[in-house]
Structure 1
C-alpha cells in the first residue's frame, strides 16, 4: 500500500508540476550559476565555479493595474512549469492572472525574472507600478551601492526624469550581487536585509498589443575583486583635488553589470564600425543641388574611402528640396534630414514608398557606393510628422506653438518604423543617425516615451540587421538598456562643438577632443556599463561653425556676439599634429566604433597635400581594430580617467595576450607604474614580453637586468608630453633560444663571441642602455657592434648591457623655471633655453610637406600653420581675464590668448602663447614669466614649446671611456 501511495503521489507531481514538498527542491542552471526555487520563487543562487552562494528568505513581486495592487505572495499559485533552465510560476486571482518567469540562458552569470500579465478584466488598462524584486537575504548586507543617472561630462546631473539603474550588494566574505531591472527609472529601497527594486511605468496598454510583459530583471552573484574605481570623476581639465581616491564601484561590479548588458545586445556587431560624421566638417554648408557642391562633397567621399571608412553620416543642404528657414526644430536643422527630404516627409509632401528620389541624391548615393561607402540619413524622430493628430503633443519650451510627435504613441511608433525601413530599402542607405529624440513631452510618462523609443529601435534593428545606428541626443543619457539595438550612443556624450565643453589646456584641438573622448569613454564604460561593442569612439574634432561679429546696441555701444555661419566657412581645419594622438585615443578606448570627424577633403589644398603616408597610417590602425577585434572586446580601464598631472590608459587582454594603451595629456613628461597582474586582465603567473607598437614599433621594453617580466612585476613607463604609447604583452617562450634585444627596436645576432646589433633607432640626443639576452649561459662576448659602431659593454651571465647615445642635440619642450621672488604683478619666474637648429629644419620640412597658403584667420588658430614654433604658458583652469606677462632676452613679448574655439569665447580659453618661429637657434635665451599671485599650488603647469615632434636617428655613439 505504501508503494502504491507513493506512486500515486509521484504521478500527480509529474502531471501537474505542483507539490510543494518537491518544489522546494526545484533548481534551474546553465552550468555557470544554479538557482534554487521554492513555492514562492528563488531561495538561493550559487556561482558553480567558485561555490559562492547567497540564500534568500523571501522573493516577492507586485504589479499595480488600474489602481489595484497584486502581490505574488497573496495570489494563488496554480502551478509551476520547470525545465533545466526555466521556471514559470502561474498565479491567479479573481478575473486576473499573471506569470512570473525565471530563466538562466547559456553564458549568463545571472538569473532573469519577468512578470507577464496573462489575464486582465478590461481590454484597456493602466499599469502604474511594478516591483519586480523584493528580496530578503539570509546574510547581513555589508554595503549597498546604487548606480544611476550621473553625468559628470555635463557638469552635473541634468534635469532628467530618470532615477536609478539597480543595486550592487556587498556581503561578508567578499561576495557581491548585482540586482537590476532593464530600465533607468528604478527606485531602490533597502530595509535591513531586504532590498526592493520597483518602477512606475504609468503606461496604458491594450489587449490588441499582446501580453503586457514587465522589463526584465537580472540577479547575479560574483566574488568582489577588492580593486575599486573612483567614486566620482574629476573633469579632465580641472586640477585634481588632493586625496581623490578609489572608493567607488568594485571592478567586479562593473564587469558584472557590463556582461549583463552585453548578453542582451540585439544583433551584436560582427566587425568594428567605421563612420565619418559629415557635419563635423560642416557639410551642411555644401549645397548638393549645385555641381560645385557635389564636386566638393565627392572630395570628402574620396578622402573617406582612402582612409578605409565604410559609412558616412550624410547631411548636406539641398536647395532644390528644403530651406533652412522653413525648419521647425529648435536648431533649424530639419532641412538636412532624411537626405534633404526631411521637411517634405514631415509635411506629408513626399511619400517614402512612392516619392521620386531626386537625381542629385541618387548621384551622391551611387558615388559613395562606388567608393565602398554607404550613407547614413540624419533623422529627428520627435518632429511633428503628419498622420494621426493623436500623436502630436505640445513640445513645451519657449515656443508655445511648437508641436512634437510623442514616442509614447503606439501608432506613431509603428508609423516611424515603417517609414525608416521603407526609406532605407528604397534608397539603399546603410543606416541612420538619430538626434532630437526627446522623452519628456506632456501627455504621457517619460517611461512610456522611453519604452516606445526602445521598441522603435528594436523593431528597426530586427528588420534591418547590420545597419549602422548612430545615436545622439538625448537617448544616450538614459542608460545602457537604451542602447541594445543601436550601434553606439553619442560619441562625446553631448554636442562635440568647440563651445560645448570646457577644454583641456592644449593648443591642438584634436588633442583637446581626444582627452574629452577618453573622459566620456571612461564614463560610458564604468558608470554607464557600456560593453565595448557599443562604446563610441571619437577621432579628430568638429570644426567651428560660428564666428564673432560686432553689433551696435540702441545706446550706441558696440559688442561682439556669436553668429552661426550657414555658408562656406572653415573648410580648412585639419590638425596636422594632433590627429594621430586622437586616433590612438579612440582606438585604445573604443576600438569597436571608429567614429571619424573632421578630415581633409572640403579644402582643395588640404585634399591635395594629404599624404599617402598619413592615409596609410590612419587606415592601418582602422584595419588593426578588425584584426584584433576579439581582443578589443576585453578593453578595460586600468587607471582613472584622463586628468591633469597623470597618465591614463586601458588594457585589452585575452588569454594573457593583448595590448596596453597609455596617454599623457600633459605637456610635461609623466610616468606611470603598472602591475602585471589581474588588474590588466592577466591570469597566468608566468613570464611576459612587452613590445612597443607606438611610437617605436618593435622595441622590447625590458625589465632591468633580465629583460623578461614576471607576473606581478611593477613596470614604470614614461611618456613624452601630449603623447600616446601602445604596447603589446604576450607570454614569453621560456624554451626560446632566440637572442633578444631590449631598449630599442632592432635585431641582435651573436656568433663566435661577436654580438652584432643592427637597425637600432632612438630619439635624437637621448641615451639608453641596450640589454641583450644571449641564447644560453656561458657565452663570453668579446666585441659588440651597434649599427656598425664598436661599443663598450658589460656582460653578466647571458645578459649584455650596452650603453648607447643617439647623436644630435637633445631638446626638451619644457622650459624649467624657478621662482625668484614676488612683485606687484605676481609670481616672478626665470629660466633659459637653447633651441637646436635641427628643430627649425624639422619645421621647414613640415612646411614643404604641408604647403598650405595660410590666411590671416588661419594664423589665429593654434592647431593650424604647424610650421610655427609656439611657446605655450600652460595652466590648469586658466581664465582669459588673468594677467600673465613674459620677457624674452629682457624684451617684453605680447602673449596671445588661445581658445579651443576659433573665436573669443571665455569658457573655451586654453592659455597663452607666442610665436617664436624667428628666434635664433643654437644660442641660449633667457625668459622671465610673471603669473597671478592667486594661483593655487600646482595650477601653473609650465612653459612649453609646441609643434616640435620627437625625431629619431640610427646614428649612435658609445658612452664613457
Structure 2
C-alpha cells in the first residue's frame, strides 16, 4: 500500500509504503528498492549527500567493542542539480544506498526482516521535492582537522540547504520542555566534577546543597545528576547493583538516591538522569547471557553488549528506564556512550530477528523506544549525547536535544574558545546535517569561556531554544547567587520573549572559526528580528549584511537597526531593503542587532 502526502506550503511530497504478508507462512523481506525515478533528460549533476560525520576517533572507540572506528556517513538525500535549481530526493532512513545514472535514480536498503502471516510492516517514507538556487554558497573552510567530521569539500547552495532543512524540520518537530520559555538547566556532569562518582552520604548532601543554590539563581529550570542511574555509579564505571536487575526491570533505590531525589522534589526543582545503553562495564541482564550480541555464526562468540535488535531486550531496557524515571520523579532523561552498532551483525536466531545483518531491526527498536518515552512523557526533556551518531539525523525524532558532533571544546579549533567551537559545530548541524536550530545543544560557561560570559550567552542564544550551564560558580547566599546569575537571568527572560525568532536561523558570512573570519546568524520573521555577529579573532574586523530575502526578510522596505547587547539600545543605522548594513567589530567580541521596520 502506498500513501502520498502533499504538505501545505511545501515544495516536496512524501510517500509512505506498507508491506503486508497475506500468505500463510513467514516471508523474509531481504532488500527494498524505492524512490525509483526516471528522467527524460539527464541532470547536470546528481550527488549523494550524507551527514558529513566521518567515523569515531580512537579516544572514543577505546571504550567500545569494535576492532575499528564505527562508521557514521549516514544517508540523508540525493541532489539532482541543474544550473538554476533541481530536485532533492531521499528516504527517511539512515542506511539507504543510491543507484544514480544519467536517466534515473533509485534508493535501496537491506531489511533482512521476517514478515509473519498477517503482519503489516511500515517502511521508511520517501520524499521528493524541488528547489531553486540562490547563488549563496556554503562551503567548508577548514585549516585544521576537527574530530569525526568529514573534511573533504562539498559546496551547497543556500536553496538546497533551506529545502532540506524544511524536510528535517517537518520530520523532527520541536518537542515541549518541562517548563515553557527558554529552557535552561545545570549539567552537573560538566559543571560539578566532584559529584560524578557513586553517591555516598557526603555526595548526596552536597547534591542537595547544590540544588538549593540552583533555585537561588532564579535562572535555571532543571538540574541533572552527574553519576549515571541517578547516583548509583560514575559514567562507564562498574556497578553490580545495576547489573543485577532482572526480568522485573525495577530500578533499585538506595538511601542516598532517595535523599537526593527527595531534596530536589521538595524544592520543586525538575531533575534529569542519564545512562549508558552499552558499556564495557555495564552488564545489563547478566541472567540472560543468550541476549548478548553474537557477531559471528559461532554461538560461543558473544560480546558484553546486548543485542538491541532483539525486541524483548529493548522492551526490557525501556521498562527499566521508565522505572527509574517514575521512582525518581524525573523531568529529563539522556543517553550517552554506545547504543546503535554499525555494522550491526548478530547471528542469534532466538533474538526475534533474522541472523546476519539486523541494522534495520536495531534502528526500529531504538527509535521506537524513544517514541514510546515521548508518548508516555510528553514534556520529558530527552537528550542524546553519543549513541545515535551511527544513525544520523533521521534517528532524532522525539528528542529535545542532541550533543552536536562531539563534546564541546574537546578540543576547540586552534586559537578558539568553547563558544567558538559551539558555533562551528552548529553551523555543520544546519548546513550539512540539516538539523533544526531548536535541537542544537547549547552550553553556557562562565570562567571556561575565554571571551567572557556574555560572549558565551550570546553564542548559545544564537544556537538554540534551550541551553545547559556547564560551568558552576560557587556562592554562599541567595543574594550572591542572584547577583552572579543576573546576566543569565536577563538573557533568559529576553529569549523567552523572543522565542519565535530563535527557533530558526540563516547562517551568515561563512563557516565559524575559519581563518580571519567573523560569523553570525540572522533570525528574521517577516519584517523584524535579530542578527547575532561574532568576531573570534584577535583583530578588528568589519562585516556587511545585505538586507534581502536571503537573510529571511519577507516584507517591509525600511529598517532601523539597533545594537542591544549592552543592555540599552544603540542606534546602528537605518537602511532600505536591499541595501548593505556595515559594522565594525572589536577583537574577540559579540554583538546583537535588532532589526525592525521604521518610517524614520
TM over 0.5: yes
**1:131 and 1:199 in contact (8 A); partners too:** yes
**1:169 and 1:176 in contact (8 A); partners too:** yes
Distance 2:160 2:323 in 1: 42
1:220 aligns with 2:129: yes
Distance 1:318 1:255 in 2: 39
1:146 aligns with 2:43: no
Q: What residue is the counterpart of 1:182 in the other structure?
A: 92
Post-superposition Cα deviations, 1:239-277, rounded to whole Å, max 9, x if no partner, equal xxxxx9997111121111111122123673364432322
**2:562 and 2:595 in contact (8 A); partners too:** yes
Q: What residue is the counterpart of 2:420 in the other structure?
A: 515
1:527 aligns with 2:437: no
Q: Offset of 1:219 from its aligned partner?
A: 1.0
1:698 to 555, 569, 584: 569
Q: What residue is the counterpart of 1:578 in the other structure?
A: 452
1:385 aligns with 2:284: yes
Secondary structure, aligned partner of 1:658: strand
Q: Offset of 1:577 from its aligned partner?
A: 6.0
**2:333 and 2:381 in contact (8 A); partners too:** yes
Q: Offset of 1:531 from its aligned partner?
A: 0.9
Q: What residue is the counterpart of 1:125 in the other structure?
A: 27
* 1:240-389 to 2 correspondences below 5 Å: 248-265=155-172, 268-269=175-176, 271=180, 272-283=182-193, 285=195, 289-305=199-215, 306-316=217-227, 332-333=236-237, 335=239, 343-348=240-245, 352-353=249-250, 357-382=253-278, 383-386=282-285, 388-389=288-289
Q: What residue is the counterpart of 1:495 in the other structure?
A: 407
Distance 1:130 1:720 in 2: 56
**1:267 and 1:462 in contact (8 A); partners too:** no
Q: Offset of 1:166 from its aligned partner?
A: 1.2
Q: Offset of 1:136 from its aligned partner?
A: 1.0
**2:510 and 2:519 in contact (8 A); partners too:** yes
Distance 2:246 2:123 in 1: 39
Q: What residue is the counterpart of 1:589 in the other structure?
A: 463
Distance 1:206 1:421 in 2: 29
Q: Offset of 1:121 from its aligned partner?
A: 3.2
Post-superposition Cα deviations, 1:311-361, rounded to whole Å, max 9, x if no partner, equal 222134899x8566xxxxxx73355xxxxxxx42332269554x6633322
The alignment's TM-score, normalised by the length of structure 1, stands at 0.54
1:461 to 355, 359, 374: 374
Distance 1:323 1:489, change over 3 A: closer
Secondary structure, aligned partner of 2:554: coil
Q: Offset of 1:725 from its aligned partner?
A: 0.5
1:619 aligns with 2:489: yes
Q: Offset of 1:525 from its aligned partner?
A: 0.8
Distance 1:411 1:713 in 2: 62
**1:636 and 1:650 in contact (8 A); partners too:** yes
Gaps of 5+ in 2: 59-67, 347-356
Query: CA RMSD of the aligned region, Å?
Result: 3.3
1:113 aligns with 2:22: no
Distance 1:675 1:411 in 2: 57
Distance 1:133 1:650 in 2: 35
Higher strand share: 1
Secondary structure, aligned partner of 2:260: helix
Secondary structure, aligned partner of 2:322: helix
Distance 1:313 1:451, change over 3 A: same
The alignment's TM-score, normalised by the length of structure 2, stands at 0.85
**1:688 and 1:729 in contact (8 A); partners too:** yes
Q: Offset of 1:423 from its aligned partner?
A: 2.7
Distance 1:515 1:466, change over 3 A: same
Q: Offset of 1:309 from its aligned partner?
A: 1.8
**Max radius of gyration: which structure?**
1
Q: What residue is the counterpart of 1:715 in the other structure?
A: 581
Gaps of 5+ in 1: 1-98, 239-243, 325-330, 336-342, 507-511, 542-572, 703-707, 735-961
Distance 1:526 1:317 in 2: 33
Q: What residue is the counterpart of 2:394 in the other structure?
A: 481
Q: Offset of 1:651 from its aligned partner?
A: 0.7
Q: Offset of 1:389 from its aligned partner?
A: 4.3
* 1:147-166 to 2 correspondences below 5 Å: 147-151=49-53, 159-160=70-71, 162-166=73-77
